[in-house]
Amino acid sequence: MTVPRFGLGTFRLKDDVVRHVVRTALELGYRAIDTAQGYENEAEIGEVVQASGIPRDALFITTKIKPANYRREALLSSLQESVDRLRVDQVDLTLIHWPVPNGEVKPEEYLSALAEAQEQGLTRQIGVSNFNIAGLKQAREILGDTPIATNQVEIHPYLQNRRLVEFARQEGVHLTSYMTLAVGKVVGDEVMQAIARAHGATPAQVALAWAMQQGFSVIPSSTKRENLESNLKAQTLQLTEEDMTRIATLEQGERERIANPESARPVWD
């Protein structure tokens, strides 16, 4: 696996808030940071990363290309701008943020451009985000021998994405889970609380451990230092088979999907 199993998400964090969160996370030991052009916080993250003094090769930085930049020339130039904002020579991973199935720019153009960006050295690895099974199949056909490092998708106890997960396992495509805590819903869940009590853990740690135990990477976020520190400890939490079975019963399907923009989403599996 070439994508770190644990990192920091920065969705909805901007200005001094994202500066504080990234600075705190780095102090606590986080070494993978996930951002996106659409988050509008790359410059602030780059500022903090540069000031941290942490060696570049100790960090893993992911960004995502926003749909407005899917044309070949725009993708290449915008990624160079992202690299400049992040104050690095190249990012470690660049993703296509949303497939936009009915958009003007087709996958053949933006995926080929992404591969070209990798060849030019703007990014070490490339991948996708929010792609369904059909989209992944198409992406692999377009990219050929160029590996897809990950597909970053919404996965949490209430939306377990089982068909996509099974396909990804069969095809050897790594998955990154975002919104693993279901925007905090797991914290108040009785099943998650019971499992947490049995392990002397928190429900958030249980949800993150559940995802990592299935082989997914996770990128939780918080503005509170205590939560950032607590989330890190999920890496050492080992759930039992019974725990995993109990969490499996929480699946609610599509009605629990949180990220679902009408203009960009695919037909979900």
Question: Given this model, what pLDDT does residue 4 score?
Answer: 98
Q: Which residues of 83-114 are buried (b: 16+ CB within 10 A; e: fewer)?
A: bebbbbebbbbbbbbbbbbeeebebeebbbbb
pLDDT in tens, 14-53: 999 999 999 999 999 999 999 999 999 999 999 999 999 9
The CATH code for residues 8-149 is: 3.20.20.100
Question: Up-side HSE of residue 7: CA atoms within 13 Å toward CB?
Answer: 25
What are the residue boundaries of the structural domains of the chain, listed by start? 8-149
Catalytic residue among 39, 110, 158, 178: 39
pLDDT-derived band of residue 6, with 50, 70 and 90 as boundaries? very high
Q: Is 30 a catalytic residue?
A: no
pTM of the model as a whole: 0.97
Alpha helices (H) along the chain: 15-28, 42-52, 72-85, 107-119, 133-143, 162-171, 190-199, 203-213, 225-232, 241-248
Percentage of the residues of the chain whose pLDDT score is greater than 70: 100
Question: Given this model, what pLDDT does residue 215 score?
Answer: 97
Evaluate if residue 227 carries a pLDDT over 60: yes
Evaluate if residue 1 carries a pLDDT over 90: no
**Average predicted confidence (pLDDT) for the chain:** 97
